[in-house]
Homo-oligomer: A and B are copies of this chain.
Amino acid sequence: MSISELRTDPISGRKVLIAEDRAGRPNDFESTAAVPTSDPSFCPFCVGHERDTPEALLELLDKHGNWQVRVIPNKYPAVLKVGTERSETTGTQLLSTQPAYGAHEVIVESPRHIQDLTELSIAELSTVLLVYRDRLRHWSRDPSMRHATLFKNVGHKAGASLQHLHSQLVALPFVPEAISNELQAAKNFHDQEGACIFCKLLQEEINLRERLVGEEGDFIAFCAYAGRQAFETWILPTRHASHYEQLADDQARPLARLLQQVVRRLQTQLKPLSYNLVLHSAPFGEQASDSYHWHFELIPRTAQLAGLEWGAGVYINSLSPERAAKLLREAGS
């Protein structure tokens, strides 16, 4: 296995991982690849097939001693913890490269061959949500890492290469662009207004109600005011918290209930439902921040990005978030 490259676009500063070893995985290139098999007898994530994956980093056992959640290194990693995070940048002034340092894990969320988090019990999903927290805590103690992105790709259109319910974690020695942009904007707002912009936003959403999708315990879900895709939904804790690592044990169940409620409602509106679920959390090694607020972004893949998105960075969404939220509320839970 060779280490990938981290390249920076000389003009835009965009980071790209050139990860040729991933070309062997089931989904590359799509134009020639088949839709992932739904046959569990070939699924490396199913119970009994543990030898088809790298050795587990962590297994959470149930009371019978069987694994319930299994954390493994990604067999096709985009980044690897090899050398050091300060590896020398080589190349020219414009065309620079460095080894793609980081960690890339897969969290297999059930021994059963199920495809969506709505097929877990609330107790099982709560356990998964606490495993997310514990893996973030694990990587936050590694001084070479600055941030980890936790995400889930569900469905072929969302880039999933295997159907069996799983998430991925990518720990990096830098804060990725999407997060650093949010951190900066949140800091600017806090400097000016003395408040967390996310706390202010969720208060407005609670008052207006028109984009609300659901609430459970300390968590709220609403359709994003400027959603990039139809039905884009954000899930936030209503009590300020910058790091997902701060999640308390007893917060996992209400968060699990809300996640399932949102996904079930989406399933009634979009068949088949493909989505990306991404966790935005503050960088490691920083104290709890007054300005940043962790949240999940759930992005159903309803339309292909086209020229305006790729060329201008301007998105077109053909369903208003207010109408989307109304459809989701009407969908029942």
Contact = CB atoms under 8 A, between A and B. Distances in A.
Contacts of A313: 14-15, 176-179, 181
A41 interface: no
Contact of A310 (B95, B182, B197, B276): B276
Nearest to A177: B313
A213 to B, nearest CB: 16
A144 interface: no
B311 A230 contact: no
B304 A30 contact: yes
A225 B10 contact: yes
Contacts of A70: none
A299 interface: yes
B17 A182 contact: no
Contacts of A19: 316-318
Residue from A149, A200, A304 with most neighbouring chain B CB atoms (10 Å): A304
Interface string A302-323: 1111111011111111111101
Contacts of A323: 20
Interface string A2-36: 00010111111111111111110001111110000
Contact of A304 (B158, B170, B321): B158
A172 B276 contact: no
A307 B185 contact: no
A315 B301 CA distance: 17
Contact of A311 (B27, B156, B279, B317): B279
A9 B226 contact: yes
Q: Main SS of the interface on chain A?
A: mixed
B272 A17 contact: no
A12 B319 CA distance: 20
Contact of A159 (B158, B200, B307): B307
Given A230-B29, A315-B17, A306 B7 contact: no
A123 interface: no
17 contacts: A10-B197, A11-B182, A16-B226, A16-B317, A17-B314, A17-B317, A20-B318, A20-B323, A29-B230, A29-B318, A31-B270, A31-B271, A78-B308, A158-B306, A158-B307, A159-B303, A177-B314
Interface of A: 5, 7-23, 27-32, 78, 92, 94-95, 149, 151-153, 156-160, 168, 170, 172, 176-179, 181-182, 185-186, 197-198, 200-201, 204, 208, 224-228, 230, 270-274, 276-280, 297, 299, 301-308, 310-321, 323
